Structures are given as structure tokens and as C-alpha cells.
Amino acid sequence: MPSIQLTDLAATWERCAITIQDQALEPTLPFTPYNVFDFYFPAGRASARHQRSLHYEFLSVDALDREAVVDFCERFGVLRIVDEGKEPNIMDALTEESDPHELARYPTWSVGGARLARYGDTPAPPGGYRTLTFAEFQEAQSQLRRTVTWAQTWQQALSRNEAQKARFNLRQLMNPKLRVVYPRLAWDEQQARWVTGWDIRSLEAAMYLMLLLDLQGPGTIRTCPWDQIVFLGDERTRYCSLRCQNAHNVQQFRQTMQTHARKTPQKTKRSGDQKRKSRRPGPRKR
């Protein structure tokens, strides 16, 4: 199955500064838009072995470490917005044909400005980012980890019943998250071609979309035996990075040497009577 090209996908979200308010992370200025799929690496598309997609980066965060959670949210933004937009957007009902250059004259808060933000060549981020509690971050990570575990179970299933059970639980966990992701027609100015854009109403949903694409692609979701990092590899790849592979090899070498040392008896020193003694020849008899 051919891998997905990185330029085929686009979805806008915003990273931001984070202020901690008691048990919550408050998104604050400045907000910087970015393409979420700049951090998606299908099988065989990562430029370095240690490069992982956004959803696997999310799983690698120590959710009990506040600094680690804040660092993730400042790099990628908070997980959700106030209005997830499960219902059709009001702008979708206004199908009047328009010139984007004319709409650009309207203020951003007007209907014309909102239409340009939604349908222009550079769509605006959803905005309205919701305060995220540390408990919500931990729960979202736990749910995604369970989902990925079922994905691995499906890929490694040895029986038809096992595979069927895994598929059932995957759909049950993933489909509700994907309800706030909408495909859209998007234009890539750099490539001068149409691409598949996604109107994402939560960063969490974007991660599930990435996982869906991984399941459709040729890669294998693996867990590194050294540091338990989840990553997308292939049947031959066991470790998430060369560092982990080298560390495991060093550990195995040391264990082998220790085992060999325990099995090899220590050599005892030969006693003096076992040593060959030299004798000075006596005087010759005449």
C-alpha cells in the first residue's frame, strides 16, 4: 500500500503560551497557527529514526509531570476548543458566490470576514481554545493509549476472533472522536495544487485521525522494548531510536560478561611445592 505524502494533508491549529491556574492550563497570547500535519510522519516518511508523529509524541509525555504537560501544550496547543462544532457551521448555509478580494475589505468579526476565514486560501484557526485541566490531559492520554493498544492487538492478532474483537473496540473508541473532524477542499499555495484539508475541532481528534491513517497505511505500531515509547515502524524495527538499540546492546553485553564471569572458576595460585625448583649443581667429584 503506498504511503501518504506529507503534502496531501492540512489542518490548522494554534500553539500558545500556557499559564497555570491551580489545576488547569490556561491558553494565553501569543497564538501561533501551524499545520498539524507538519507533525505527522507516515510509514517511511520520517527524516530521522527518532521522529514520531504527534499522537505518539502525546503518548510519550509524562502526564504526572506538570512541566512536561506544559511543554507539550506550548509546542502544539491545548487539546480542545469551547465550541467543538458538532453541528453544521452557520457559514455553510451562506452559499452566495463571492470574490475573496471583496470579502477582504470586511472586518474579521463580520459575516464577510468569517466567510473569508472559513473558505479562503488560508483558513483561520478555529480559535476559542478551552482551559485544560491536568486531569483532562491524563484522561485523554489514557484513552488514546488504550486505543493504540487495541490497534497493536489487531495488527498482531493470531486468530480471527481476536482480530474481530480488536476491530470492534477500535471502532468504539475512535469513531466518537472523529465526529469533530470534517474533510474540506484546501489549496496548497507552495505546491500549487489541491490537497485534503481537515476542519479539526479538537487537537485530540486530529491525533485519532493520524492513527486512522496509520491503520490504513503499511506501517506497524510498535512499543520500544527499552523505554516503552510507542512508534510507527515495520516488522524489522524493534527500537524507536538508535540510542535505545545501543543501550540495549550494551546491557546485553554486560549481562553476558557477568554470566560468563560467574560460570568461570577462579584460577588458584600454585603452591610453592608445586613450582619447579631450581637446584644449583654441586661441585664435581674428581
The CATH number that applies at residue 202 is 1.10.3300
- What is the span of the domain harbouring residue 227? 6-81+126-148+181-246
Q: Distance between alpha carbon 25 and the CA centroid of its chain, in Å?
A: 21
Asked if residue 60 belongs to a domain, the reply is yes
State the total domains in the chain: 1
In a domain, 104, yes or no: no
Which three-class secondary structure state does DSSP give residue 188?
strand
Look at residue 277 and tell me if it is in a domain.
no
8-state DSSP, 7: G
Which H helix or E strand runs over 216?
Answer: helix 203-216
Say what the pLDDT of residue 24 is: 95
Domain assignment present for residue 168? The answer is no
Q: What is the pLDDT of residue 7?
A: 56
Asked if residue 57 belongs to a domain, the reply is yes
Query: What pairs with residue 132 in β-bridges?
Result: 25
Supply the pLDDT for residue 250. Answer: 82
36 assigned to some structural domain = yes
Q: State the pLDDT at residue 1.
A: 42
Tell me the whole-structure pTM to 2 decimals: 0.81
**Is residue 52 domain-resident?**
yes
Q: Where are the beta strands (DSSP E) in 189-259?
A: 193-200, 220-223, 230-233
H or E stretch covering 207: helix 203-216
CB contact burial 220-229 (16+ within 10 A = b; e otherwise): bbbbbebeeb
Is residue 259 assigned to a domain? no
Q: Chunk the chain into consecutive blocks of 10 residues (it has 286) and report each block's average pLDDT, rounded to whole numbers.
A: 60 95 94 94 79 95 97 96 67 76 87 83 83 97 97 95 97 95 87 89 95 93 87 80 77 77 62 52 57
74 three-state secondary structure: helix
pLDDT for 17: 96
